[in-house]
Chains A and B, each alone.
Chain A
Amino acid sequence: MRIAVCVKQVPDSWAEKKMAGGVLDRASADAVLNDLDEYAVEEALRIVEANSPTKEAGEGSGHTITLISMGPDRATEAIRKALSMGADEAIHICDAGLGGSDALATSLVLSKAISDGGFDLVICGTESTDARMSVIPAMLAERLGWAQLTFAGSVNVDPGATKVSIARSTELGIENMEANFPVVVSVIEKINEPRYPSFKGIMAAKKKTITVKSLIDVGISADQVGSKAAWSNVRDAVLRPARSTGIKVEDGGDGGTKLAEFLAEKRVI
């Protein structure tokens, strides 16, 4: 079984984010592996471990986990982190022409890298903590023509039967779904507890292969991606005034009464 996991480097979700020229200013914030992608990496590892004679991922498991990431040079740091969790190898699509790409361009690039790789299963997080659109997994399924099993709170893979079953968890409740390979899966954060990379894992990750590909390598022309090809544009972006610090009271035995008075004064009740 060949599994691809899409990972993205994002500004640290604790860092202040700013706009620059209509797009997120990525250079100004610390960059980390999108924490929602860690659940995808962890789930891939668990699927391999459950189906491996050695109960371990890596060589001898008979399965491979390939990370796929699009981003600038420094995205290597996030890729190494995911490799140190136990993924086998990575493909890093890195090209000066990619800056400012929107979700349509990103899904195009990722879908090309995926369709070239002979994968059975693609696993993603539900969204990135920077753009938060939550559309890439669905767009990948649409572009690849693969089954879409997304927002999974649990995943079961039967590699022999080449079948995937999930419990899709959304506002509508839970839908138990299944499909045959190849499948695009996205996992919600409730699904597992991502492991911390071990020292051994961190050392091993340094020797793992990261294949860097350009736009030409994945067969995409420069006019299909980047900020010039973006299919929506930002007219303006203004910083909203910070929420003015509100009233803060210490509960001296009448905190509840004061709260009720505040709500009455604001005509909420």
Chain B
Amino acid sequence: MSEVLILVDAVDGKVAKSTGELATFAKAIGKVSAVIFDASLVSQLSAYTIDNVIICNGIDVTKFSPAPVAQAFAQLVASKSAAAVLITSSSRGKEIAGRLAVATNSGIITDASTIDSDLVTTQLVFGGSTTVHAAVTRGTTIATLRSNSIEPIVGSGTPTTEEFTPTISDAAKLGQVISTEPVVKGGRPELTEASIVVSGGRGTNGDFKPVEAFADVLGAAVGASRAATDAGWYPHTHQVGQTGKSVSPQLYVACGISGAIQHRAGMQTSKMIVAINKDSEAPIFELADYGVIGDLFNVLPQATTAIAAKKA
């Protein structure tokens, strides 16, 4: 049976839901082997359809660039004759996948929204205007998958475990992490994993309170346009767009965001889009399933109250 390697995502010692999505896709292909570099995560992995856990020892990957992770995977791909490697489409995930493709002479597909049992992927390209089906034709299939693409299947057993000590070259240790400043966490869901995202832009004039209040009544994550993060109104880590995060929630609410192409690139594949903007000509309305031409400082508090009343 063909073996599929997945890279486990964890934040602050907690395995992320995206891992379950990778496991769900991988299970349709073959035996699922989840790779971790932190042995303490093992107990959480029975939550998903994972058959085997490979615990990589001897290297603290948080101290380096993504190179050592890619190197460990290259060795596992060879020893397991893996059919595919699935990694979450994050900045780091795509870098690991890129290095792994070079190291193993394999093709790579990034930002897929699905991968089927024949290893054919689906991607939405050009800002969601075109659907592409593609497959790797050489080496091992290396694919990165976007979060929120599939509902993870719950696991039904305890995976087997094995230990592996990769050989990490000096070259892979050249870029070193000296210190870290973790993302300051609020009580809201993680932006890329949230099923609802409410974002604010230039139209907030620096006041995100109505945006946050609306997000909270919906149980949503808060995002921001580049204009808002550049102005220092909201942390850069919440930026949605070309070089910020790409999100694909069930509902995206753009408040006071004109919808420049750079922003659209990060949210265009959301299932439903709502826009609130004073300018009736704002390009964001071209995407919106529901648009309100009006001042967010009037519309949002009213909607927040109305939703709170419906929920009560």
- Residue-by-residue, is A163-181 near B (CB-CB < 8 Å gives 1, otherwise 0)? 0010011111111111110
- Residue-by-residue, is B161-198 near A (CB-CB < 8 Å gives 1, otherwise 0)? 00000000001001111111111000000001000100
Residues of B with C-beta under 8 A to A173: 180-183, 237
The reply to whether A150 and B95 contact each other, CB–CB distance below 8 Å, is yes
Please give 6 more A-B residue pairs, beta carbons under 8 A apart, in addition to A17-B130, A138-B66, A147-B174.
Answer: A107-B98, A134-B95, A141-B67, A171-B90, A173-B180, A231-B139
Say whether B91 faces chain A, with CB atoms less than 8 Å apart. yes
The winner among A13, A142, A238, A250 for most chain B CB atoms within 10 A is A142
Which of A136, A168, A180, A249 meets B291, CB within 8 Å? A249
Which of A178, A232, A239 meets B109, CB within 8 Å? A232
Q: A235-B120, A251-B298 are in contact. Are A176 and B178 (CB under 8 A)?
A: yes
Residues on A lying within 8 angstroms of B by beta carbon are 13-14, 16-17, 19, 36, 102-104, 107, 126-127, 129, 132-139, 141-143, 145-151, 153, 165, 168-180, 183, 188-190, 230-240, 242-243, 245-251, 253-264, 266, 268-269
Instruction: Provide the bound-state CA to CA distance between A138 and B183, in Å.
Output: 23
B304 nearest CB neighbor, chain A only: A256
CB distance from B77 to the nearest CB of A (A): 14
- Identify which of B24-32, B38-46, B280-288 touches chain A: B280-288
- Identify which of B48-56, B99-107, B149-157, B201-209 touches chain A: B99-107
The reply to whether A104 and B107 contact each other, CB–CB distance below 8 Å, is yes
Residues of A with C-beta under 8 A to B99: 138-139, 141-142
CB distance from A63 to the nearest CB of B (A): 22
A188 nearest CB neighbor, chain B only: B243
The reply to whether B301 and A147 contact each other, CB–CB distance below 8 Å, is no
Which of B108, B131, B265 meets A104, CB within 8 Å? B108
Which of B96, B176, B229, B299 meets A259, CB within 8 Å? B299
Q: Determine the interface band of chain B, counting residues with CB < 8 A from chain A.
A: 35 or more
State which residues 120-140 of B face A: CB under 8 Å.
Answer: 120, 124-126, 128-139
Which of B176, B245, B311 meets A171, CB within 8 Å? B245
Which of B11, B97, B301 meets A135, CB within 8 Å? B97
Q: A178-B178, A190-B236, A232-B109 are in contact. Are A269 and B245 (CB under 8 A)?
A: no
The reply to whether A132 and B265 contact each other, CB–CB distance below 8 Å, is yes
Instruction: Provide the bound-state CA to CA distance between A142 and B98, in Å.
Output: 9
Which of A19, A132, A266 meets B130, CB within 8 Å? A19
CB distance from B113 to the nearest CB of A (A): 12
The reply to whether B298 and A234 contact each other, CB–CB distance below 8 Å, is no
Say whether B80 faces chain A, with CB atoms less than 8 Å apart. no
The reply to whether A172 and B183 contact each other, CB–CB distance below 8 Å, is yes
Query: Could you tell me the dominant secondary structure of chain A's interface residues?
Result: mixed
Which of B65, B130, B237 meets A150, CB within 8 Å? B65
Instruction: Provide the bound-state CA to CA distance between A38 and B280, in Å.
Output: 32
Instruction: Provide the bound-state CA to CA distance between A22 and B183, in Å.
Output: 40
Q: A148-B67, A259-B292, A268-B196 are in contact. Are A238 and B272 (CB under 8 A)?
A: no
Which of A102, A104, A148, A190 meets B229, CB within 8 Å? A190
A169 nearest CB neighbor, chain B only: B236
The 8 residue pairs across chains A and B that have the minimum distance between CB atoms:
A256-B302, A251-B294, A135-B98, A231-B107, A147-B174, A260-B306, A256-B303, A138-B95
The reply to whether A149 and B107 contact each other, CB–CB distance below 8 Å, is no
Residues of A with C-beta under 8 A to B109: 232
Instruction: Provide the bound-state CA to CA distance between A149 and B294, in Å.
Output: 44
Q: A148-B66, A153-B236, A237-B132 are in contact. Are A247 and B290 (CB under 8 A)?
A: yes
CB distance from B72 to the nearest CB of A (A): 14
Which of B177, B180, B292 meets A249, CB within 8 Å? B292
A240 nearest CB neighbor, chain B only: B131
The winner among B99, B174, B265 for most chain A CB atoms within 10 A is B174
Residues of A with C-beta under 8 A to B96: 138
The reply to whether A232 and B286 contact each other, CB–CB distance below 8 Å, is no
The reply to whether B95 and A248 contact each other, CB–CB distance below 8 Å, is no
The reply to whether A262 and B290 contact each other, CB–CB distance below 8 Å, is yes
The reply to whether A255 and B108 contact each other, CB–CB distance below 8 Å, is no
Residues of A with C-beta under 8 A to B139: 231
Instruction: Provide the bound-state CA to CA distance between A171 and B91, in Å.
Output: 7
Q: A190-B229, A251-B298 are in contact. Are A172 and B129 (CB under 8 A)?
A: no
